[in-house]
Structure 1
């Protein structure tokens, strides 16, 4: 059986014994029915991965021993910060999940002029917790050892004026700027519009704030598809995907 891999947000060192959190007890003890002596892989977001052995397991608790740790190089050196215009339900989940799998370092959900999502402070907190769990699950699946930062939603105009990066890009299908003409960056801020697209005023604001307009091809992509395609191109061009 494949060794389960789980995010456990607590300090770990080889030789430690620790009690796993409720989410992992639910998954490992109740769903997978692990027993004492079974193996599990754990990570806490600090860049390391730990091999652990189950010591005591019941339906309400699970104790493990940390046997060893390592720091595999699975995170891209290219730091990509996505400003993602908010979309509804599964579309936003998809964007977070796939962007995490492709190595995103950080995402800030944005309220833009054509954004149809309205969130009060309580719903914002709930959605942010949900997106963080989507990112954690994507890290578990993709073998990432760090969890990308998910910010609270903020207005697009504030983000484009305040974000810092070596290279700032706004996806704009009227642009013909080729990536090959741009200098190699260590960090990228990537602005992605909503289903209805960015308004011309928003594109102009981004450009006035140092963003370069780029197009990914002749077709217009959906808002949840754009970060996937953009990151695949950027990671292939400057990051750690095959072909770089």
Structure 2
């Protein structure tokens, strides 16, 4: 059954017009009045629904029963990633959403290949958020991870506020690094920082460790910038 993200208040028994992106999704699927679908708005659980009317540019549905089902990871893992270039960032966002990331923070580091500012950065953020939504529709998640605006790494580290019980991990091949599962502990939110192609510069690592990030490792192999954060995410969310 198709799953559609509908970012608006939902209540059983309501008849409502879907917002344009959701309406286009239903139209692309060539659904007809009477067809069933599932709606979720990111606030928890999902709703049964039925197409009531298909217009040329609008779609109305009848909202059915709510099911308080969640498919979230057992703990919140927030990815902070030095953006890989080209379509690799798209792929990273898609897979991170599927695997249960709580949020994704793209950062500009000294060695970043992809450098975004201004309107171009805003368009990329919206594009990545749409990718995350589509991944949640496909994977069954009912809560969409937020893709934050692109930020300079140093500024982001300086503004990061403490969260009770959190762990802050910096993926590294340093001899001081502990295995990522050990470094993360058993509970509490995790901030997981991974550098761009070429890794973080020494002064950036110093800023990160000064902000409370601890070295964590995934083993001796050198993973690509789009692979490392996903491998760590799997290690921390798919343990059962």
Say whether 1:11 aligns with 2:13. Answer: no
Deviation at 1:85?
A: 0.7
Say which SS state the counterpart of residue 46 (structure 1) adopts: coil
Deviation at 1:39?
A: 0.2
Alignment correspondent of 1:196? 198
Say which SS state the counterpart of residue 215 (structure 2) adopts: strand
Say whether 1:146 aligns with 2:143. Answer: yes
Gaps of 5+ in 1: 236-240
Say which SS state the counterpart of residue 144 (structure 2) adopts: coil
Gaps of 5+ in 2: none
Deviation at 1:182?
A: 5.5
Q: 1:182 to 1:123 in 2, by over 3 A?
A: closer
| Separation in 2, partners of 1:144, 1:37 | 25
The worse-fitting range, judged by mean Cα deviation, of 69-78 and 90-99 is: 69-78
**Equivalent residues in 2 for 1:117-196 (5 A)?**
117-163=114-160, 164-165=162-163, 166-175=166-175, 176-178=177-179, 179-180=181-182, 183-196=185-198
Do the aligned partners of 2:45 and 2:70 also contact (CA within 8 Å) in 1? no
The worse-fitting range, judged by mean Cα deviation, of 53-62 and 7-16 is: 53-62
Deviation at 1:26?
A: 2.3
Alignment correspondent of 2:20? 22
| Separation in 2, partners of 1:65, 1:174 | 56
* RMSD (Å) for aligned C-alpha atoms: 1.5
Cα deviation, 1:116-148, whole Å, max 9, x if unaligned, reads: 222231101100100100100010011000111
| Separation in 1, partners of 2:44, 2:71 | 9
Q: 1:197 to 1:181 in 2, by over 3 A?
A: closer
From 101, 105, 110, give the equivalent of 1:108. 105
Cα deviation, 1:44-69, whole Å, max 9, x if unaligned, reads: 11112010011111332211100111
Deviation at 1:181?
A: 6.0
| Separation in 2, partners of 1:81, 1:133 | 18
